[in-house]
Amino acid sequence: MSNPAASYVEETRFGFWFLQSHVWQQHVLRVAINDLRGLFAGPLPESPVLLDVGCGQGKSFGLLNDAFKPARIIGLDADPHSLDCSRAEAERLGLEVQLIASDCAAIDLPDASVDLLFCHQTFHHLVEQEQALAEFWRVLKPGGRLLFAESTQFYIDTWVIRWLFRHPMQVQKSAAGYLQMLRGQGFQFATQNVSYPYLWWSRAKDFGLLERWGLLKPKPVGQRDETLINVVAHKPLEATPL
């Protein structure tokens, strides 16, 4: 059972198992990181300090290292068991990763200390989303980027997800709602920094089978309920730590 006083909702046993599966690594994590990398405007930062919030079992570390060549990786999670798994994964990969037991709403890092902040499928677990986003802003350097990849309420609020996983339903948002929240915090991004993946696993009603069988015509962006939102947003250079 999750702690009602906690600022995040813990994974179910199935969820914890799923986060170490081949499907998670290859069809969720890898796809999201590749997409986020393509949403950058201009060159990638050289030798960045990269913070992975909600790093879970560390399955993102190798993919992030390959995609962004960070000088330093920091993994943050509030779950001690997940951090133990992350430590083992970093050792298996031969990567030096600083691991922090910390809540996203109170990140134990100095102001303006991070170049890239990777938040993948973590935000919809957080109860205190506004506080967490303010912390992301605080720890990012001016000019730093937030790599934000989330499932929307139209995916989270489906029978299969409600059955297999656990989330704070009162804070789930649409793609437009997440974009509005990011802008409200001060993050900036353009149309080319945003994507709306419509992946098979995010379409819990039929997993896209009707379209693949030719029984349903695909709906374009703007005419469907988006199930996923990926954004590369930046903290303006003139911004100062809050």
pLDDT (0 to 100) of residue 124: 81
The answer on pLDDT for 163 being more than 90 is no
Per residue in 122-141, pLDDT (tens digit) is: 888 888 999 999 999 999 99
The encoded tokens of residue 73 equal 């990786």
Pick the more confident residue, 211 or 177: 177
Whether 30 has a pLDDT exceeding 50, the answer reads: yes
Q: What is the pLDDT of residue 15?
A: 62
pLDDT given at position 172: 80
> Does residue 13 have a pLDDT over 90?
no
pLDDT of residue 3: 40
- 5 pLDDT higher than 50: no
Transcribe the chain into DSSP letters.
---TTSSB-PPPHHHHHHTTSHHIIIIIIHHHHHHHHHT-SSSPPSS-EEEEET-TTSTTHHHHHHHH--SEEEEEES-HHHHHHHHHHHHHHT--EEEEE-BTTB--S-TT-EEEEEEES-GGGBS-HHHHHHHHHHHEEEEEEEEEEEE-HHHHTSHHHHHH----GGG---HHHHHHHHHHHT-B--GGGEE----GGG-TTTTTHHHHTTSSPPPPTTSS---EEEEEEE--TT----
Rg of the chain's alpha carbons, rounded to an integer? 17
Query: For the segment 174-188, what is each residue's pLDDT rounded down to a tens digit?
Result: 999 999 999 999 999
Q: Write the pLDDT tens digit of every residue in 55-94.
A: 999 999 999 999 999 999 999 999 899 999 999 999 999 9
Say whether pLDDT at 20 is over 60: yes
Query: Distance between CA atoms of 30 and 64, rounded to whole angstroms?
Result: 9
Q: CB-based contacts of 47: which residues, under 8 Å, 6+ apart?
A: 69, 70, 71
pLDDT digits (tens, 9 = 90+) for 45-56: 999 999 999 999
Residues pairing with 100 in the sheet: 76
Residue 208 has pLDDT above 60, yes or no: no
Nearby residues of 121 by Cβ (< 8 Å), 6 or more positions away: 28, 32, 54, 149, 150, 151
Q: Decide: residue 41, CB within 10 A, 0-12 exposed, 13-18 middle, 19+ buried.
A: exposed
CA pseudo-torsion sign 106, 78, 95, 25: negative
What's the confidence (pLDDT) of residue 138? Answer: 97
Contacts of 22 (CB under 8 A, 6+ apart): none
Strand partners, 51: 74, 117
Of 64-68, 164-168, 237-241, the range with the highest mean pLDDT is 64-68
Better-predicted residue by pLDDT, 41 or 154: 41
Q: Residue 77 in contact with residue 86, Cβ under 8 Å?
A: yes
| Domains, in order of start, for the chain | 103-234 (3.40.50.150)
What average pLDDT is seen over the chain? 84
The pLDDT of residue 4 is 36
What local confidence, expressed as pLDDT, does residue 239 receive?
64
Q: What integer pLDDT is reported at residue 170 of this predicted model?
A: 72
Residue 3 identity: N
Q: How confident is the model at residue 101 (pLDDT cuts 50, 70, 90)?
A: very high
pTM across the whole model: 0.85
